[in-house]
Structure 1
Amino acid sequence: MATPALQETINEVKEIFREYLKNNGHRQTPERFMVLEEVYKSDGHFDADDMFFKMKDTGYRVSRATVYNTLDLLVECGLVQRHQFRQNQSYYERAYAYRQHDHIICDECGAIMEFCDPRIFEIQSLIQRLHDFDISGHSLHFYGKCNNPDTCDRKPDLKLKEPRKE
């Protein structure tokens, strides 16, 4: 069950998505809104197949193509952010009402760690002023090896893993 704050965010993003679909001539299908809701109930990073199988396991009747196409629409309208962490596969995370953050990715185990440093925002603001440029966003990824023996004692899988919650 979604918390009241999460439910409020879900209602807001549904309205934004509804307007986006309407203004861009796309159909407003229940399946698209189911994908949107699942994205905002999810924490962390996921790929399209993760989302498809999660929805299928939960009992949703949605096709893989609908999940992929809906994720593309959600990226276009700014509700979801797409990342490629040194791989050909895209990973997604929610973007609305979600604090700005950057990523540290372990090359050994594939863990993705998020961090937020206000100095990065200050640098972005300075670059904006110096170059008279309106920056709409940024993406910063650091790669290396984490020092967690519980996760880094194995080779990386084909897909990245979220860090373990302890």
Structure 2
Amino acid sequence: MQESNLLLATARVKLEESLLAKGLRRSSERFAILDEVYSRNDHFDAEELYQAMHQKAYPVSRATVYNTLDVLIDCGLVRRHHFGEEDNSKSRYEKSLGRQQHAHMVCTVCHRVKEFCDPRLHLIKTNVSTTLQFQVESHSLVFYGQCTDDTCETRPSHE
């Protein structure tokens, strides 16, 4: 719990600095959205974030959620993903501060996103940088398939 509080405090300072540097308003809504994002451990879309804010009785508009997500991405506090779902325009988000490098697996049936870490990913990144003389700033690896998780609600039954 203490680690997540420290992470949130660091994120709040980083957001504050970014807003000041860009001359943007430091509104309570932006910080409340940041708090909600950093309380989560999943990959969410903007509508889910909007609904979570309203369930907590925090009056924030959809536009504010979308705009704030863009601000959070711009200052490196959130990552945006497009996992190739049916609605290709749909973005998924995750907090990025304090997160170790990881890859994703996306179930094409239930659309659940799972993360995994493998030390070979770092080795590949290092080899690409060295061999091809290319400074890798970020990368994305996504595997698509069907999960075999019994809790997959939409998994086809194999009779």
TM-score for the superposition, normalised by structure 1: 0.87
The answer to whether structure 1 residue 68 and structure 2 residue 69 are counterparts is: no
Return 119-128 or 106-115, whichever deviates more. 106-115
SS in 1 for 2:156: coil
Report what 2:125 is aligned to: 124
Aligned equivalents of 1:125, 1:26: Cα separation in 2: 37
Superposed structure 1 runs of 4+ greater than 6 Å apart:
none
State whether structure 2 residue 148 is matched by structure 1 residue 147: yes
Query: Is 1:30 matched with 2:31?
Result: no
1-side partners of 2:48 and 2:13: how far apart? 25
5+ residue gaps, structure 2, are none
Task: Name the structure 2 match of 1:99.
Answer: 100
Counterpart residue identity of residue 50, structure 2: F
Identity in percent: 39
Task: Quote the residue 1:159 is aligned against.
Answer: none
Q: Using the alignment, how far apart are the partners of 1:147 and 1:56 within structure 2? A: 33
- Mapped partners of 1:131, 1:24: distance in 2: 35
C-alpha distance in structure 2 between counterparts of 1:149 and 1:28, whole Å = 45
| RMSD value, Cα | 1.3
Residues of 1 paired with 2:150 and 2:55: CA distance?
Answer: 32
In the alignment, what sits opposite 1:40?
38
- The offset of 1:153, in angstroms, is 2.4
